[in-house]
C-alpha cells in the first residue's frame, strides 16, 4: 500500500473518532460526511493506423465512494474531483504524443469527456497492442464537518495516479510509393508508371490504385482529373506497377507536379478499406521542338523556284516518320507538293528538304513568310505536329524570260531585207524547241516570219532571222515588229512568252551621182551618130555617091 493511502486512512480514522465524539455532544444537528472520488480513464479509440496522426478521445469515469453520508451538498463535495488535469505520455510505445497537459476542471460522479489527444503513429510500427500511460491529477475533500452553527470544515487532499489505455495496431495491408517513371512531355500525352509496395502484414484483395491531380494543367485519359488502375490480390512485401495515360497542357510550366494516390481494397475480413493518402511526384519533359537551318529560297514573280533547308530535332525525344510541311498564306504562291518525308530524327539530328515553289504573274515582289511544321509520331505512336517554324523569304521582281536584240534594223522603202534577232535565255532552266513568231503590219510584210531554236540553255544566245519587205510609198520612220516565243520547259510543260517589240527603221532611196538629163541627151546623141554612120556605109556599097 502506498504511503499516501496510509496517510489518507489514518486521517479518515482520526476524523471518524472526532466526528463520533462531536455527534454525541451535538446530536442530530451536526455530523461528518466522509468519502472520495474514484476516477478511471477509458478511451473509445481502440485501433490506430500506421503512418497516421490520430485524435484519441478520453473519458473519465468517476464512481465517487461514500464512507459516511450526510447532507447532499456535502456528499457531492467529497465525491467530486476538482482541478482535474490529464497528461498522456508515450511511455514505451513507438507513438508520438502531440498534445500536452489537458485541463479538465471538475469531474463529479459519472463520466466526463476530455479534449481530444493527438498522437502520431509511425509508418513502420509493428502490429500489436500498446499500453499508453495516462496520469490523472486532482484535488478533493476527504471529509466535511458540519453543525447547526458555524460554517462546515473541509479536510482537502490532492491525488495523482497513473493509469493505462490500450491501443491496437492491427495487421493490415500498408502501401508506399517505390518509384515513378514517365514519358510525358509538356504539350503531349505520355505514360506515367507508378511502382508501389505493400509493406504491411496482410494481403489486400481486389486492390485498385486511384491517382488524382489537383491542377488542370495535367489530366488523365480523355481529360479526367483522376484515373484508377486495377491490381487485384496484393501480397505483403510485393510491388506492383500501375500505368496511367497522362496529358500535359501546352501552356503547362516545366516543373514538378504532385499527384495523390490511394489504394482501395478489401482486408482479410472482407471489409472495404482505403489506404492513407500517398504522394507521387511527376516532372514532365520539356516540349518537343524543332528548328530551321540553312534555308535557301530562289523565288521570282512569274517563275518556278525552290525553297530548301534543314530541319533540326532539338529533342528531347526521337521524332519518328517525320514529314516537313510547307505552307504559305499568299494565294499567288503555289507549292507543288507541300510535304517532304524525312528519315527518323533522333535528338540533334537533321533532315534536309527541298520544295518546288512557283510564283504567279499576279504576285508582287515583296518579303513573304513561309511556315514549316514537322508532323511526326511520338514514342506512343501518336501523330503530333510541331509549332510553326517561320521563315521570311524575298520574292524577286519579275524578269523577262528572254532578252532580244535586233542586229540590222533598217530597210529601204520598196525593198526587201532580213532582220536578225539575237535571243538570250535569261532564266535558270534550259529550254527546248524555242519557236519564234514575228508579227508585222503595213507597210511592212513578211513571207518568212517564223524560226526555231532546238535548245537554249540558261545564259545562252541564239540568232533567228526574219524576212521583211516594205512598200515603196512607206514613210521614213520606225515601225514595230512584234515577236513572241513558244518553248518547252524541262518538266515538259509548254509556255508562251510575252510579246517583244523590235523597232525597224524604213528609209527612202538616197539621190546623188551624175545628172540624169545630160546623161540621157548624151546617150541619145551617141545612138543617133551610130545610126548615121551605119546608113552612110550602106550607100557606099551600092555605088551611089
Asked whether 98 and 119 are in contact (CB, 8 A), the reply is yes
Rg (C-alpha) for the chain, rounded Å, is 59
Same fold, 290-396 and 402-507: yes
Which residues make beta-bridge pairs with 119? 54, 97
Q: Which of the two residues, 533 and 324, has the higher pLDDT score?
A: 324
Question: What is the predicted pLDDT for the residue at 374?
Answer: 96
Domain edges within the chain: 3-45+59-113+131-168, 175-282, 290-396, 402-507
Question: What is the predicted pLDDT for the residue at 95?
Answer: 94
Question: What is the predicted pLDDT for the residue at 510?
Answer: 66
pLDDT at 300 over 60: yes
Return the minimum-mean-pLDDT range out of 74-83, 171-180, 337-346. Answer: 171-180
Rounded average pLDDT over 522-534:
45
pLDDT at 291 over 90: yes
User: Could you report the per-residue pLDDT of 203-226, keeping only the tens digit for each?
Assistant: 999 999 999 998 889 999 878 899
pLDDT at 228 over 90: yes
Q: What are phi and psi of 22, to 5 degrees?
A: -70, -40
Q: Which of the two residues, 537 and 201, has the higher pLDDT score?
A: 201
pLDDT band at 99 (very low <50, low <70, confident <90, very high): very high
User: Could you report the per-residue pLDDT of 361-399, keeping only the tens digit for each?
Assistant: 888 888 999 999 999 999 888 899 999 999 999 998 888
Rounded average pLDDT over 414-439:
89
pLDDT band at 97 (very low <50, low <70, confident <90, very high): very high
pLDDT band at 9 (very low <50, low <70, confident <90, very high): very low
Question: What is the predicted pLDDT for the residue at 13?
Answer: 43
Q: What are phi and psi of 18, to 5 degrees?
A: -65, -40
CATH architecture of the domain formed by 175-282: Sandwich (2.60)
Topology adopted by domain 402-507: Immunoglobulin-like (2.60.40)
CA distance linking residue 351 with residue 313, whole number of Å: 9
Q: What cell numbers appear for 438 in the block?
A: 514575228
DSSP 323-390: EEEEEES-TTEEES--EEE---B-TT-EEEEEEEEEE-TT--SSEEEEEEEEEEE-TT--EEEPPPEE
Q: What cell numbers appear for 524 in the block?
A: 541619145
pLDDT at 46 over 90: no
Question: What is the predicted pLDDT for the residue at 511?
Answer: 55
CA distance linking residue 263 with residue 74, whole number of Å: 58
Question: What is the predicted pLDDT for the residue at 26?
Answer: 39
pLDDT at 414 over 90: no
What is the signed CA dihedral for 374, 376, 382, 387, rounded to 10 degrees?
-20
* Distant-in-sequence, close-in-space partners of 320: CB < 8 Å, separation ≥ 6: 344, 376, 377, 378, 381
pTM: predicted TM-score of the whole model, two decimal places: 0.57
pLDDT at 79 over 90: yes
DSSP 492-503: S-EEEPPPEEEE
To the nearest whole percent, how much of the chain has pLDDT over 90? Answer: 56
User: Could you report the per-residue pLDDT of 471-489, keeping only the tens digit for each?
Assistant: 888 888 888 999 999 999 8
DSSP 86-135: EEE--TTSS-EE----EEEEEE-SEEEEPPPEEEEE-TTPPSEEEEEEEE
User: Could you report the per-residue pLDDT of 264-280, keeping only the tens digit for each?
Assistant: 999 888 999 998 899 99
User: Could you report the per-residue pLDDT of 125-163, keeping only the tens digit for each?
Assistant: 888 899 999 999 999 999 999 998 889 999 999 999 999
Q: What cell numbers appear for 464 in the block?
A: 533567228
CATH number of this structure's domain 290-396 = 2.60.40.10
pLDDT at 502 over 50: yes
Rounded average pLDDT over 439-468:
89
| Three-class DSSP category at 10 | helix
pLDDT at 14 over 80: no
Question: What is the predicted pLDDT for the residue at 354?
Answer: 95
Of 78, 135, 131, 126, which Cα lies nearest the Cα of 104? 135
Amino acid at each position: 500500500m502506498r504511503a499516501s493511502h496510509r496517510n489518507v486512512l489514518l486521517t479518515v480514522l482520526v476524523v471518524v473518532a472526532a466526528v463520533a465524539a462531536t455527534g454525541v455532544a451535538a446530536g442530530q444537528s451536526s455530523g461528518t460526511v466522509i468519502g472520495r472520488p474514484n476516477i478511471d480513464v477509458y478511451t473509445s479509440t481502440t485501433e490506430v493506423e500506421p503512418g497516421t496522426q490520430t485524435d484519441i478521445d478520453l473519458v473519465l469515469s468517476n464512481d465517487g465512494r461514500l464512507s459516511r453520508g450526510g447532507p447532499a451538498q456535502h456528499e457531492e463535495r467529497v465525491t467530486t474531483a476538482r482541478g482535474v488535469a490529464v497528461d498522456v505520455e508515450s511511455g514505451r510505445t513507438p507513438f508520438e504524443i502531440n498534445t500536452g497537459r489537458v485541463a479538465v476542471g471538475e469531474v463529479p460522479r459519472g463520466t466526463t469527456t476530455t479534449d481530444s489527444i493527438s498522437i502520431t503513429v509511425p509508418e513502420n510500427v509493428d502490429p500489436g497492442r500498446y499500453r499508453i500511460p495516462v496520469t490523472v491529477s486532482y484535488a478533493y475533500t476527504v471529509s466535511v464537518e458540519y453543525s447547526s452553527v458555524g460554517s462546515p470544515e473541509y479536510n482537502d487532499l490532492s491525488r495523482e495516479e497513473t493509469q493505462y489505455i490500450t491501443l491496437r495496431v492491427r495487421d493490415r495491408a500498408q502501401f508506399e510509393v517505390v518509384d515513378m517513371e514517365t514519358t510525358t512531355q509538356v504539350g503531349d500525352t505520355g505514360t506515367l508508371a507508378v511502382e508501389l509496395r505493400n509493406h504491411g502484414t496482410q494481403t489486400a484483395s481486389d486492390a485498385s490504385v486511384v491517382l488524382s491531380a489537383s491542377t488542370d494543367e495535367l489530366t488523365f485519359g480523355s481529360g479526367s482529373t483522376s484515373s484508377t488502375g486495377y491490381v487485384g490480390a496484393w501480397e505483403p512485401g510485393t510491388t506492383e506497377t500501375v500505368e496511367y495515360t497522362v496529358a500535359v497542357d501546352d501552356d503547362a510550366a516545366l516543373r514538378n507536379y504532385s499527384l495523390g494516390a490511394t489504394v482501395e481494397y478489401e482486408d482479410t475480413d472482407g471489409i472495404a478499406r482505403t489506404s492513407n493518402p500517398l504522394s507521387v511526384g511527376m516532372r514532365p519533359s520539356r516540349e518537343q521542338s524543332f528548328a530551321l537551318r540553312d534555308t535557301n529560297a530562289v523565288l521570282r514573280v512569274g517563275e518556278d523556284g525552290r525553297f530548301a533547308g534543314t530541319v533540326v530535332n532539338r529533342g528531347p525525344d526521337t521524332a519518328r516518320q517525320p514529314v516537313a510541311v510547307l505552307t504559305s498564306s499568299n494565294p499567288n504562291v503555289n507549292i507543288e507538293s507541300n510535304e517532304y518525308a524525312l528519315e527518323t530524327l533522333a535528338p540533334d539530328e537533321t533532315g534536309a528538304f527541298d520544295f518546288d515553289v512557283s510564283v504567279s504573274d499576279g504576285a508582287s515582289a515583296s518579303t513573304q513568310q513561309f511556315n514549316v511544321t514537322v508532323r511526326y509520331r511520338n514514342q506512343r505512336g501518336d501523330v503530333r505536329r510541331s509549332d510553326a517554324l517561320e521563315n521570311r523569304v524575298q520574292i524577286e521582281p519579275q524578269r523577262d524570260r528572254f532578252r532580244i536584240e535586233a542586229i540590222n534594223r533598217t530597210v529601204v522603202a520598196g525593198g526587201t531585207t532580213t532582220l536578225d534577232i539575237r535571243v538570250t535565255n535569261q532564266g535558270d532552266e534550259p529550254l527546248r524547241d524555242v519557236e519564234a513568231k514575228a508579227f508585222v503590219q503595213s507597210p511592212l510584210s513578211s513571207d518568212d516570219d517564223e524560226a526555231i531554236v532546238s535548245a537554249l540553255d540558261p545564259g545562252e544566245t541564239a540568232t533567228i532571222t526574219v524576212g521583211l519587205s516594205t512598200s515603196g510609198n512607206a514613210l521614213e520612220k520606225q515601225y514595230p515588229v512584234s515577236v513572241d516565243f513558244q518553248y518547252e520547259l524541262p518538266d515538259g510543260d509548254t509556255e508562251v512568252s510575252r510579246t517583244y517589240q523590235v523597232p525597224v527603221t524604213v528609209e527612202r532611196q538616197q539621190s546623188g551621182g551624175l545628172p540624169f538629163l545630160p546623161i540621157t541627151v548624151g546617150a541619145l546623141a551617141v545612138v543617133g551618130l551610130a545610126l548615121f554612120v551605119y546608113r552612110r556605109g550602106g550607100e557606099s556599097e551600092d555605088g551611089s555617091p
